């Protein structure tokens, strides 16, 4: 990327290195795998994001998922503005926490009771602790290439920033912790059966992104999720769907609604906070009543259920619950975008693979069908980097990694989608001359 044209971002990035590790507060933001200078963002509205050099881009990150209605949606801003006048935090229960809990329980099929936390990471760490506490077992099965936040036990064959940075197994995670995380490839039921027979009666849980968005976007094949449900029921293993990405995005009840498979526990984040730092975990009452103070599994948070965050989340969830057309509308936008991308690939006779579910999209730079992490790793990440920068030059800001899903927002108009498709054509022309 032409640094001169992004002078202020370049200066800020250089300054940030002095006091922030790598200049960013979350690794993928640093553009490390695609090269160049990350854009420092000043503001965003609707489908557009504006950087410190006053350039605006159509964008398909949407804060990595939360901004499903587009940026600065009036209903959410109004809710937050109303809440801040009553102080920012109490550390005491509020009626809004009941409202959001009731709404979540009514929207997400598996959730009878729910605990609010501050991030997806906290949600998954807590859900695993409950599963272990409840079953009295230590081990759990994780799917290669799925990302469940940065809790120690999950940083084994982890996707997202961990694989983008080349550290799917992070230093600092002890061998003692790692040995309790058992690994299976996505879409492979036989490997799950094998792990279960090798670790008979030792497995507390199976945690999975039902539709992984952290190794690019990968879809389940051949009733995979239904089979996992059957196996977990048969073996007394707690099935946890990590719907931090897919929750309230694929449908108001998430992937579990779309595939009609009900897990024992569900973890949520991103959209649930409307852009504020919120996560949640929930499930069967019997399991959730194991959480303190109802039960013995400890989990707490000074800012959990924060009134401003709850106001933003409530406004977002109410909007989604009251307007089911959001999902049909987003699905139509997704279809239009992917049809355009496929036509661009066909025009140039390129074998790359596009995946789509609802408003989640991915373009894999490989000629192999991507059904798991090993397939995702056959992609040409260097080529993705070139494509990423060409798209930026053409006014579209994509997630700066091959191993991420693109997230669409409802703010994208038909005209915006035409612009993005034109950018895809122009970018493929420039990198595949
Ligand atoms: N689970 C999944 C499926 C995620 O995609 C993420 C974040 N991308 C997390 C957990 C962690 O959430 P957070 O970054 O809010 O800690």
Q: What tens digit of pLDDT does each residue of 26-60 get?
A: 999 999 999 999 999 999 999 999 999 999 999 99
Give Rg (Cα) of the chain: 21
Summarize pLDDT for 217-239 with one digit per residue, the tens. Answer: 999 999 999 999 999 999 999 99
What is the Å distance from ligand 1's center to 207 Cα? 13
Dist. CA 131 → ligand 1 center (Å): 19
Q: Of the listed 48, 57, 147, 281, which one is catalytic?
A: 147
Place of tokens 């937050």: 80
What average pLDDT does range 182-205 have in this prediction? 97
Element (H, E) at 312: helix 307-322
> Could you say which DSSP state residue 148 is in?
-
Q: Could you tell me the pLDDT band of residue 403, with boundaries at 50, 70 and 90? A: very high
Residues 270, 280: Cα–Cα separation, whole Å: 10
Q: Is 108 left (phi over 0), alpha (psi -120 to 50) or beta?
A: beta
Residue 166 sits in the same domain as residue 290: yes
Q: Mean pLDDT, the chain, as a whole number?
A: 96
Examine the pLDDT at 340 and tell me if it is beyond 70.
yes
Q: Whose CA is nearest to atom 10 of ligand 1?
A: 148
Whose CA is closest to atom 5 on ligand 1?
Answer: 245
Co-location of 176 and 314 in the same domain: yes
Range of the domain at 242: 74-322
Same domain membership, residue 329 and residue 318: no
State the pLDDT at residue 158: 86
242 is catalytic: yes
Query: Which band of pLDDT confidence, cut at 50, 70 and 90, is reported for residue 1?
Result: very low
Residue 201 sits in the same domain as residue 345: no
φ, ψ for residue 224, nearest 5 deg = -50, -50
Say which residues have a Cβ less than 8 Å from residue 322's Cβ, sequence separation at least 6.
none
Indicate the residue among 322, 355, 379 that finishes a domain.
322
Once rounded to an integer, what is the mean pLDDT over residues 266-281? 98
- Do 259 and 349 lie in one domain? The reply is no
Tell how far the Cα of 367 is from the centroid of ligand 1, in angstroms. 28
Q: Of the residues 322, 356, 374, which one is the last residue of a structural domain?
A: 322
Pocket of ligand 1 (CB under 6 A): 64, 119-121, 124, 147-149, 160, 209, 214, 242, 244-245, 269, 279
299 and 381 in a single domain? The answer is no
Q: How many domains does the chain have?
A: 2
170 and 232 both lie in a single domain? yes
Residue 264 has pLDDT above 50, yes or no: yes
Q: Pairing relation of β-strands 203-208 and 238-242?
A: parallel
pLDDT(154) > 80: yes
pLDDT in tens, 85-113: 999 999 999 999 999 999 999 999 999 99
pLDDT at residue 162 tops 90: no
pLDDT at 107: 98
Spot the catalytic one: 96, 270, 333, 353: 270
Calpha distance 162→159 (Å, rounded): 6
329 and 373 in one domain?
Answer: yes
Ligand 1, closest atom to CA 119?
Answer: 15
Domain CATH code at residue 208:
3.40.640.10
Residue among 15, 258, 26, 225 nearest 121 (CA): 26
- Which of 322, 356, 376 is the last residue before a domain boundary? 322
How far apart are the C-alpha atoms of 252 and 62, rounded to whole Å? 18
The ipTM (two decimal places) reads: 0.99
Q: Are residues 369 and 263 in the same domain?
A: no
Q: State the pLDDT confidence band at 2, using cuts at 50, 70 and 90.
A: very low
| CATH number of the domain enclosing 425 | 3.90.1150.10
Based on the domain organization, do 178 and 291 belong to the same domain?
A: yes
DSSP calls for 62-128: GGGTT-TT-BT-HHHHHHHHHHHTT-S--SS--HHHHHHHHHHHHHSTT-SEEEEESSHHHHHHHHH
> Do 213 and 111 lie in a common domain?
yes
Q: Which two tokens stand for residue 303?
A: 């800012």
Each residue's pLDDT tens digit, 111-142? 999 999 999 999 999 999 999 999 999 999 99
């Amino acid at each position: 990327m032409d640094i001169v044209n992004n002078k202020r971002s370049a200066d800020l990035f250089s300054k940030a290195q002095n006091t922030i590790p790598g200049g960013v507060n979350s690794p993928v933001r640093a553009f490390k795998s695609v090269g160049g200078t990350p854009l420092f963002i000043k503001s965003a509205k609707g489908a557009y994001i504006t950087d410190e050099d006053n350039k605006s881009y159509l964008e398909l990150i949407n804060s990595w998922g939360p901004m499903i209605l587009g940026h600065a949606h009036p209903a959410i801003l109004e809710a937050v503005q109303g809440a801040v006048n009553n102080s920012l935090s109490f550390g005491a229960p509020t009626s809004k926490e009941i409202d959001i809990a009731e709404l979540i329980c009514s929207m997400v099929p598996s959730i009878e009771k729910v605990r609010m936390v501050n991030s997806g990471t906290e949600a998954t760490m807590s859900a695993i602790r409950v599963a272990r506490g409840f079953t009295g077992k230590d081990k759990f099965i994780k799917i290669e290439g799925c990302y469940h936040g940065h809790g120690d036990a999950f940083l084994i064959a982890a996707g997202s920033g961990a694989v983008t940075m080349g550290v799917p197994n992070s230093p600092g995670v002890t061998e003692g912790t790692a040995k309790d995380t058992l690994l299976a490839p996505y879409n492979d039921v036989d490997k799950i059966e094998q792990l279960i027979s090798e670790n008979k009666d030792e497995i507390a849980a199976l945690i999975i992104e039902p539709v992984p968005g952290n190794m690019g976007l990968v879809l389940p094949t051949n009733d995979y999720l239904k089979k996992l449900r059957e196996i977990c029921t048969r073996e007394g293993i707690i099935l946890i769907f990590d719907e931090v990405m897919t929750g309230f995005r694929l449908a108001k009840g998430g992937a579990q609604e779309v595939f009609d498979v009900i897990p024992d526990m569900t973890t949520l984040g991103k959209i649930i906070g409307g852009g504020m730092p919120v996560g949640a975990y929930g499930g069967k009452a019997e399991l959730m009543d194991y959480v303190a103070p109802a039960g013995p599994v400890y989990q707490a948070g000074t800012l959990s259920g924060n009134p401003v965050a709850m106001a933003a989340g409530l406004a977002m969830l109410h909007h989604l619950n009251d307007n089911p057309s959001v999902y049909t509308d987003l699905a139509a936008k997704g279809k239009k975008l992917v049809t355009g991308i496929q036509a661009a690939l066909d025009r140039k006779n390129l074998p790359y693979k596009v995946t789509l579910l609802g408003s989640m999209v991915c373009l894999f730079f490989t000629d192999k069908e991507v059904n798991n992490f090993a397939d995702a790793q056959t992609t040409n990440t260097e080529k993705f980097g070139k494509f990423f920068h060409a798209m930026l030059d053409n006014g579209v800001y994509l997630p700066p990694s091959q191993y991420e899903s693109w997230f669409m927002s409802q703010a994208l108009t038909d005209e915006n989608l035409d612009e993005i498709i034109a950018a895809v054509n122009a970018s493929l022309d420039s990198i595949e001359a």
